Structure 1
Amino acid sequence: MVKKGIYFIQKLSGRFSTRKNRRYQVKPLWAKNLPGQNDHLSRPRNRVALIKQWLAMKNSRPQQSYRSARKTKKRIVLTGTATIAVTLFLIFFILDGQARLRRAVESITMFQVSELLITGNGIVADQVLKDASGITLYQTSLLVLNKQKLKDRIESVPWIASAEIVRTWPSTVEIAVQENIPLALIHGSAKTGAEFYYMDKNGVSFLPVTPGGNIDFPVVTGLAELPEGSVRQKAFAEVLLFLKKVRGNDPHLPLQSLSEVHVTPEGEMVVYLVDYTFPIFFGNGNTGQKYARLVQVLKALYKKGKGSNLISEIEYIQMDYLQDKVLVAQTGSE
């Protein structure tokens, strides 16, 4: 009986202590509710099951971290700032911003042109080229100087064949030019409104002759009266070849001794000298060979003429008399 009484007391006290402890007991991590589960959970049987429940709880949370959210926010801020900057830039240029920027650049004293150098000119005066350049000292900025436009302005001067522009920082511009060198004066047609033009070595007429201009050049006549076509083109080519040969300034036939090169209606060339009035008939074709023969003929005439004045008695010279033959006709000869 005693043993049964002790056993009953121990069992009763054990139930009491268990209920008391459960009142203050906190649910362990594995016992917390998971999404979609009831409050009643059974204790995991092993450690593997406990880890699986913990991972399920972790995966159920939002995946975006604090750092990722911060980067996204920063990207949005930068994109918005760039858009605002581009918009303001466009508005600035629309509202005359480009002109204001140009004026601001031109106002930098350090880069304003303080020296303009002209080289290579002999016919055209320095001031003419400076005026054509459009550069104003201490106003035009080297920063905004357009070299191509400046080159075009200089080459628009009739006597200028080409120009090269060199910028020397911070404030110097050098213009090196090559001038058109007249080879002859060519007679123009009535349609051109001018009597004569300066012609360069390429046969290009680049400037009308004005009163008081330099006319110390051979004169080409008769070409303007020829109709357009092969005859005129061939005759012009022969005239140009002859002038280039004479430009070599052989002592017996220098360029300054040549007065006129005339082209007949048939397209044949006739040459006149400054000091003598007799004609030299070149015909048409083989101008290079005929020039060489003429030099030899004049050399012989000048040599024999000492004391006898033989060349003054010449009536005409015919370069195409016969093949490889030159006819020198004297006054009074049959």
Structure 2
Amino acid sequence: MLALSVLTVLTIGYLLYFTELAGVRSVEVVGASQVPSERIRELAAVPAGQPMLRVDTDEIAMRVGALPSVASVEVSRSWPSTIKIAVTERRPIGFYDTGRKLYLVDRDGFVYKEIGEPVAGLPKLELSKVGPHDAATRSVASVLADLPPQLREQVRVGRAETPGSIELALADGRIVRWGDAEQTQRKAKVLAVLLTREGEVYDVSSPELPTVS
């Protein structure tokens, strides 16, 4: 009886690992909008019929994750015969002008996609350098990503020389001295009140003592 049980387990293991009886029949892609699903399937390169247990999900995630527009990837087996690729794409918070080309930038400061012209609703980033390892970039990107929608849509430029010197230029020409990336929600609430007053420069770097000049 024991020998039969062992043989049964070995047979099932063999069928699952070495034959097409439990092979891949489909590849499902979810979460992709900027990158065509077919392109992701091409990069995943999962052979039809390959035994599900022999699919290297980490290798697939690495290949798909190399796409600039992809922030993260999770690859899983959906039994009996589907490989599921869940993609989280980067979302732009602004664009950067090199003087020759324009690029989208996400909330982590990652420069990931060239564009032909400015995108409506996205502010321009005015920074000495842009990248995920630049502290000023991360600070400005963090603020722009976390602004309430009604305030974010008014911003045309986000700039900073240092992480603590963030400024926002609004569509009507007014300037907001934001300071650092701390207390974004509190500063946004204070600013919403200040913007009802006439002025040119609105300083909320210290939200306890805001000024208008």
Q: Same fold (TM over 0.5)?
A: yes
Aligned CA RMSD, in angstroms, stands at 3.5
Provide the secondary structure at the position in 1 that maps to 2:95. Answer: strand
1:125 alignment partner in structure 2: 36
In structure 1, the gaps of 5 or more residues are 1-103, 226-231, 302-310, 329-334
1:327 alignment partner in structure 2: 212
1:168 alignment partner in structure 2: 78
2:168 alignment partner in structure 1: 271
Larger Rg: 1
CA shift for structure 1 position 237:
5.3
- Contact 2:103–2:114 (8 Å) recurs in 1: yes
Alignment of 1:150-229 (within 5 A): 150-188=60-98, 195-205=101-111, 207-211=112-116, 216-224=121-129
Do the aligned partners of residues 212 and 280 (structure 1) sit closer, same or farther apart at CA in structure 2, a change above 3 Å counting?
Answer: closer
CA shift for structure 1 position 151:
1.4
1:293 alignment partner in structure 2: 190
- Contact 1:110–1:171 (8 Å) recurs in 2: no
Q: Say whether 1:261 aligns with 2:158.
A: yes
Higher RCO (C-alpha 8 Å, min separation 6): 2
Alignment of 1:223-238 (within 5 A): 223-224=128-129, 233=135, 235-236=136-137, 238=139
Alignment of 1:84-99 (within 5 A): none
Do the aligned partners of residues 321 and 216 (structure 1) sit closer, same or farther apart at CA in structure 2, a change above 3 Å counting?
Answer: closer
TM-score by length of 1: 0.47
Name the CA distance, whole Å, in 2 between partners of 1:146 and 1:321.
50
Alignment of 1:92-107 (within 5 A): 105=18
Amino acid paired to 1:129: I
Do the aligned partners of residues 241 and 159 (structure 1) sit closer, same or farther apart at CA in structure 2, a change above 3 Å counting?
Answer: closer
Do the aligned partners of residues 215 and 135 (structure 1) sit closer, same or farther apart at CA in structure 2, a change above 3 Å counting?
Answer: farther
Name the CA distance, whole Å, in 2 between partners of 1:170 and 1:285.
51
Q: Say whether 1:243 aligns with 2:144.
A: yes
Provide the secondary structure at the position in 2 that maps to 1:122. Answer: coil
Name the CA distance, whole Å, in 2 between partners of 1:143 and 1:213.
46
CA shift for structure 1 position 287:
6.2
Greater per-residue helix proportion: 1
2:175 alignment partner in structure 1: 280
Do the aligned partners of residues 286 and 117 (structure 1) sit closer, same or farther apart at CA in structure 2, a change above 3 Å counting?
Answer: closer
Deviation by residue 1:190-233 (Cα, 9 ceiling, x = unmatched): 7xxx634332222333x1323379564222113329xxxxxx74
Do the aligned partners of residues 141 and 221 (structure 1) sit closer, same or farther apart at CA in structure 2, a change above 3 Å counting?
Answer: same
- Contact 1:110–1:170 (8 Å) recurs in 2: no
Name the CA distance, whole Å, in 2 between partners of 1:181 and 1:321.
26
Name the CA distance, whole Å, in 1 between partners of 2:67 and 2:205.
46
Deviation by residue 1:1-37 (Cα, 9 ceiling, x = unmatched): xxxxxxxxxxxxxxxxxxxxxxxxxxxxxxxxxxxxx
Provide the secondary structure at the position in 2 that maps to 1:224. Answer: coil
In structure 2, the gaps of 5 or more residues are 1-16
